[in-house]
Amino acid sequence: MRWTETLRTGLDAIRSHRLRSGLTTLGILIGIAAVILTVGLGLGSQRQVGASISSLGSNLLIVSPGSSTSEGVRGGFGSSTTLTVDDATALASEVAAPDIGAVAPVKSTSLSVTADDTNWTTSVVGTSEEWAQVRSRTLSAGSFFTEQDVTDQAAVAVLGSETATELFGTTSVVGRTVTINSIDFEVVGVLASAGTDSSTNLDDQVVAPLSTVANRVIGGTNKDSVSTIYIQAASEDQLSAAYQEAQALLLTLHGITDSDSADFSISSQQSLLSTATAVSRTLTVLLTGIAGLSLLVGGIGVMNIMLVSVSERTREIGLRKALGAPPGAIRRQFLVEATILGLAGGLLGAVLGILAARWLPDLLSTEIVVSPLAVGGSIAIAVLIGVVFGVYPATRAAKLAPIDALRSE
């Protein structure tokens, strides 16, 4: 029997039992769609995490203070006040740290900001004039404050786009005035929207000169302390060198000889991205494995329908073998039918998965990336399932004795 005849006969056999074949194909379809969506969610999550970390700035190192201890209770990293403005100044030295391109110390707190009769509680960030460069932020209106503003403790501020909208109902606010802790600040710029990072709404903040925030807004006995120091390496290739220079310099400034006893921590984008990607990849593998179970169920369905088909067509098999059909032709006939079911389920599942990947992001507010490799691999797996789970029924049919098959009722 020619392959074309085998294919035609297989299609006729499947069409003669449309409902049963459709239900078998449905099992594979659901499994394939689930695998495509699961892989897509994992890739989308990795892309979102990467974009979120990249929004922190380019070639970025983040220096955080160590932990504090109060009445025997240790706080987490960042709870102490071990970083100062002097540390930031030393890190900005081209002589001491030639691989560091720019430094932006940050002192932040949450305060109520007032504009006319409206108030809004937001994050007030005191920093240097290099903050916008280090954090890779741009302005949609106005300009950033200058080094002279920091020196003069000027009452000027740059608003996040969401903060401006909450206070004024618009982002066209350059020249307007906001009040923070009874001090009037002139709005000199508005930041372009940047979304959110892992824990902060980057569009909801007020950025002002560090000297102004430390001395005139927050005050207290720790005016020189900062909550974070952002370091931008001179280039991506110099990030590792910048890390080592920052660590060595801070250890020297703090009088610490053992790096394990450091009262600060330095993290990089690469380490954050690697950790987040590893977690996301592990979850993707786990969920893909769960989705793969439905493919196993679909494969069992293929085997079941083929065994039923062999039982129902025993006399047909006996007649064909009596007329001279070799066992290989019989085996090929049933393998073709199983392969067609697998291929149909794979193609329909791929279409469903791609359509769902385009529709679900609007519903779930998350990104789903359709991977061509996942789509092609899923279809190939579906065909393989048809072949593997069709081998036993096909072999069983091929081994039937002609006389026994013709005598069956």
Beta strand extents in 176-227 (DSSP E only): 177-180, 183-191, 205-209
Q: What is the pLDDT of residue 52?
A: 63
Q: What is the mean pLDDT of residues 82-108?
A: 92
Residues paired with residue 109 on neighbouring β-strands, in sequence order? 124
Q: What is the pLDDT of residue 124?
A: 95
The predicted-structure confidence for 104-121, as pLDDT tens digits, reads as follows 999 999 999 999 889 999
DSSP, collapsed to helix, strand or coil, labels residue 327 as: helix
The total of other beta-carbon atoms located within 10 Å of residue 15's CB is 9
Q: Is the pLDDT of residue 68 over 50?
A: no
Assigned token pair, 144: 């950033």
pTM of the entire predicted model: 0.60
- Confidence bin at 73 (pLDDT 50/70/90): very low
The predicted-structure confidence for 364-379, as pLDDT tens digits, reads as follows 777 888 888 888 888 8
Q: Which amino acid is at 47?
A: R
Three-state DSSP string of 318-366: HHHHHCCCCHHHHHHHHHHHHHHHHHHHHHHHHHHHHHHHHHHHHHHCC
- Confidence bin at 77 (pLDDT 50/70/90): very low
* Cβ proximity of 49 and 273 under 8 Å: yes
- Confidence bin at 337 (pLDDT 50/70/90): confident
Q: What is the pLDDT of residue 184?
A: 95
The predicted-structure confidence for 218-263, as pLDDT tens digits, reads as follows 987 788 899 999 999 888 788 889 989 999 999 999 999 888 888 8
Q: Which amino acid is at 278?
A: A
Q: What is the pLDDT of residue 72?
A: 41
The predicted-structure confidence for 350-366, as pLDDT tens digits, reads as follows 999 899 888 888 787 77
Ramachandran assignment for 72, one of left (phi > 0), alpha (psi -120 to 50 degrees), beta (any other): left
The predicted-structure confidence for 168-177, as pLDDT tens digits, reads as follows 999 999 999 9
Q: What is the mean pLDDT of residues 260-283?
A: 74
The predicted-structure confidence for 127-156, as pLDDT tens digits, reads as follows 999 999 998 899 999 999 999 999 999 999
- Beta carbons within 8 Å of 173's beta carbon, 6+ residues apart: 141, 159, 164, 167, 187, 190
Q: What is the pLDDT of residue 210?
A: 95
Question: How deeply is 199 buried, as exposed, middle or buried, from its count of CB atoms within 10 A (0-12, 13-18, 19+)?
Answer: exposed
Q: How far is it, in rounded angstroms, from Cα 373 to Cα 397?
A: 36
More confident residue, 78 or 277: 277
Q: What is the mean pLDDT of residues 7-19?
A: 73
Domain chopping of the chain, boundaries? 3-52+281-407, 81-262
Q: What percent of the chain has pLDDT over 70?
A: 83
Q: What is the mean pLDDT of residues 275-286?
A: 71
Q: What is the pLDDT of residue 199?
A: 63
- Beta carbons within 8 Å of 327's beta carbon, 6+ residues apart: 321, 398, 399
* Cβ proximity of 88 and 99 under 8 Å: no
Q: What is the mean pLDDT of residues 67-71?
A: 46
Q: What is the pLDDT of residue 141?
A: 93
* Cβ proximity of 127 and 104 under 8 Å: yes
The predicted-structure confidence for 28-52, as pLDDT tens digits, reads as follows 888 888 888 888 887 787 777 666 6
- Mean pLDDT for the chain overall: 82
- Confidence bin at 78 (pLDDT 50/70/90): very low
Residue carrying structure tokens 């009769």: 117
Q: Which amino acid is at 91?
A: L
Q: What is the pLDDT of residue 260?
A: 84
Question: How deeply is 19 buried, as exposed, middle or buried, from its count of CB atoms within 10 A (0-12, 13-18, 19+)?
Answer: exposed
More confident residue, 161 or 198: 161
Q: Is the pLDDT of residue 327 over 50?
A: yes
* Cβ proximity of 36 and 354 under 8 Å: yes
More confident residue, 306 or 149: 149
